[in-house]
Amino acid sequence: MPSHFHAVIWIDHSQARIFHFGLGGSDEITLHPHLATRHLHHKANAIGSGHAAPDKAFYTEVTKAVADAGEILIIGPASAKTELADHIHASAPDLAKRIVAVEAADHPSDAEIVAYAKRHFKMPLPRVQTPGSATGERHSG
Protein backbone atom coordinates (compact mmCIF):
# COMPACT_ATOMS: atom_id res chain seq x y z
CA MET A 1 0.00 0.00 0.00
CA PRO A 2 1.40 3.44 -0.87
CA SER A 3 2.24 5.77 2.01
CA HIS A 4 -0.33 8.25 0.67
CA PHE A 5 -3.51 6.27 0.09
CA HIS A 6 -5.99 9.14 -0.44
CA ALA A 7 -5.76 11.93 -3.01
CA VAL A 8 -7.90 14.99 -3.59
CA ILE A 9 -7.63 17.03 -6.77
CA TRP A 10 -8.97 20.57 -6.92
CA ILE A 11 -8.95 21.50 -10.59
CA ASP A 12 -10.00 24.29 -12.91
CA HIS A 13 -8.74 25.10 -16.41
CA SER A 14 -5.69 27.03 -15.13
CA GLN A 15 -4.32 24.69 -12.45
CA ALA A 16 -4.66 21.44 -10.54
CA ARG A 17 -3.85 21.34 -6.82
CA ILE A 18 -3.26 17.75 -5.74
CA PHE A 19 -3.08 16.67 -2.10
CA HIS A 20 -2.04 13.15 -1.03
CA PHE A 21 -2.92 11.85 2.46
CA GLY A 22 -1.98 8.75 4.38
CA LEU A 23 -0.28 7.35 7.44
CA GLY A 24 2.97 8.97 6.33
CA GLY A 25 1.47 12.48 6.41
CA SER A 26 0.45 14.57 3.43
CA ASP A 27 1.96 16.45 0.53
CA GLU A 28 0.79 18.80 -2.19
CA ILE A 29 1.72 19.54 -5.78
CA THR A 30 0.36 22.13 -8.18
CA LEU A 31 0.28 21.52 -11.93
CA HIS A 32 -0.47 24.03 -14.68
CA PRO A 33 -1.42 23.41 -18.31
CA HIS A 34 1.41 23.86 -20.81
CA LEU A 35 -0.56 26.44 -22.78
CA ALA A 36 -2.22 29.40 -21.16
CA THR A 37 -5.99 29.13 -20.91
CA ARG A 38 -7.61 30.43 -24.05
CA HIS A 39 -10.77 32.45 -23.82
CA LEU A 40 -12.93 31.86 -26.87
CA HIS A 41 -15.81 34.06 -27.81
CA HIS A 42 -18.71 32.60 -29.73
CA LYS A 43 -19.87 34.73 -32.61
CA ALA A 44 -23.21 34.58 -34.36
CA ASN A 45 -23.26 32.32 -37.44
CA ALA A 46 -19.91 30.78 -36.46
CA ILE A 47 -19.27 27.06 -36.19
CA GLY A 48 -18.35 25.75 -32.75
CA SER A 49 -19.55 26.18 -29.22
CA GLY A 50 -17.13 28.91 -28.16
CA HIS A 51 -15.51 26.59 -25.59
CA ALA A 52 -11.87 25.48 -25.63
CA ALA A 53 -11.32 21.75 -26.09
CA PRO A 54 -10.18 19.86 -22.99
CA ASP A 55 -6.39 19.98 -22.53
CA LYS A 56 -5.54 16.27 -22.78
CA ALA A 57 -1.84 16.77 -22.00
CA PHE A 58 -2.74 18.63 -18.78
CA TYR A 59 -5.23 15.94 -17.75
CA THR A 60 -2.64 13.23 -18.51
CA GLU A 61 -0.15 14.94 -16.17
CA VAL A 62 -2.77 15.12 -13.41
CA THR A 63 -3.68 11.47 -13.97
CA LYS A 64 -0.03 10.42 -13.60
CA ALA A 65 0.26 12.45 -10.38
CA VAL A 66 -2.47 10.37 -8.68
CA ALA A 67 -1.68 7.00 -10.28
CA ASP A 68 -0.63 5.42 -6.96
CA ALA A 69 -3.63 6.68 -4.93
CA GLY A 70 -6.06 4.15 -3.54
CA GLU A 71 -9.01 6.57 -3.43
CA ILE A 72 -9.41 9.80 -5.39
CA LEU A 73 -11.74 12.74 -4.81
CA ILE A 74 -12.02 15.29 -7.64
CA ILE A 75 -13.41 18.73 -6.82
CA GLY A 76 -13.54 22.10 -8.54
CA PRO A 77 -15.68 24.73 -10.21
CA ALA A 78 -17.08 24.54 -13.75
CA SER A 79 -16.37 21.66 -16.11
CA ALA A 80 -12.68 20.84 -15.59
CA LYS A 81 -13.47 18.32 -12.84
CA THR A 82 -15.80 16.29 -15.06
CA GLU A 83 -13.46 16.61 -18.05
CA LEU A 84 -10.65 15.16 -15.89
CA ALA A 85 -12.89 12.32 -14.67
CA ASP A 86 -13.91 11.56 -18.27
CA HIS A 87 -10.23 11.59 -19.31
CA ILE A 88 -9.32 9.15 -16.53
CA HIS A 89 -12.22 6.84 -17.45
CA ALA A 90 -11.09 6.81 -21.11
CA SER A 91 -7.33 6.57 -20.62
CA ALA A 92 -6.87 4.74 -17.29
CA PRO A 93 -9.91 2.54 -16.52
CA ASP A 94 -8.20 0.84 -13.57
CA LEU A 95 -7.51 4.23 -11.99
CA ALA A 96 -11.07 5.37 -12.76
CA LYS A 97 -12.37 2.65 -10.42
CA ARG A 98 -10.62 4.48 -7.57
CA ILE A 99 -12.50 7.76 -8.10
CA VAL A 100 -14.88 7.94 -5.14
CA ALA A 101 -16.58 11.24 -6.04
CA VAL A 102 -16.56 14.23 -8.39
CA GLU A 103 -18.01 17.27 -6.61
CA ALA A 104 -18.43 21.00 -7.06
CA ALA A 105 -16.19 23.30 -5.02
CA ASP A 106 -15.58 26.97 -5.67
CA HIS A 107 -12.07 28.33 -4.94
CA PRO A 108 -11.16 27.10 -1.44
CA SER A 109 -7.85 27.71 0.30
CA ASP A 110 -5.39 24.83 0.65
CA ALA A 111 -6.45 24.37 4.28
CA GLU A 112 -10.12 24.20 3.25
CA ILE A 113 -9.33 21.58 0.58
CA VAL A 114 -7.43 19.47 3.11
CA ALA A 115 -10.22 19.74 5.69
CA TYR A 116 -12.88 18.90 3.07
CA ALA A 117 -10.92 15.84 1.92
CA LYS A 118 -10.32 14.62 5.46
CA ARG A 119 -14.04 14.88 6.22
CA HIS A 120 -14.88 13.09 2.96
CA PHE A 121 -12.40 10.27 3.61
CA LYS A 122 -13.43 10.20 7.31
CA MET A 123 -9.88 10.89 8.47
CA PRO A 124 -9.24 12.39 11.91
CA LEU A 125 -9.02 16.15 12.03
CA PRO A 126 -6.59 17.80 14.45
CA ARG A 127 -8.13 18.29 17.88
CA VAL A 128 -8.48 21.78 19.22
CA GLN A 129 -7.96 21.99 22.94
CA THR A 130 -10.05 24.34 24.96
CA PRO A 131 -8.83 25.93 28.19
CA GLY A 132 -9.09 23.45 31.05
CA SER A 133 -9.53 20.43 28.77
CA ALA A 134 -5.90 19.30 29.09
CA THR A 135 -6.17 18.81 32.87
CA GLY A 136 -9.63 17.33 32.82
CA GLU A 137 -10.95 20.06 35.13
CA ARG A 138 -14.61 20.84 35.04
CA HIS A 139 -15.89 24.28 35.66
CA SER A 140 -19.46 24.92 36.62
CA GLY A 141 -20.89 28.26 36.00
Sorted by where each starts, the structural domains of the chain and their CATH numbers stand as 6-33+52-120 (3.30.420.60)
On the question of pLDDT at 18 being above 80, the answer is yes
On the question of pLDDT at 136 being above 60, the answer is no
Q: Residue 88 contacts by C-beta under 8 Å, 6 or more apart in sequence?
A: 59, 63, 95, 96, 99
Encoded amino acid at 67, one letter: A
Encoded amino acid at 3, one letter: S
Q: Which residue has the higher pLDDT, 136 or 9?
A: 9
Q: What's the average model confidence in pLDDT over 6-23?
A: 92
CA distances from 10 to 30, 87, 125 (A): 10, 15, 19
The predicted model scores a pTM of 0.75
Q: Kindly report, residue by residue over 55-112, the tens digit of the pLDDT.
A: 899 999 999 999 999 999 999 998 999 999 999 999 999 999 999 999 999 999 999 9
Complete DSSP assignment for 72-98 = EEEEESTTHHHHHHHHHHHH-HHHHTT
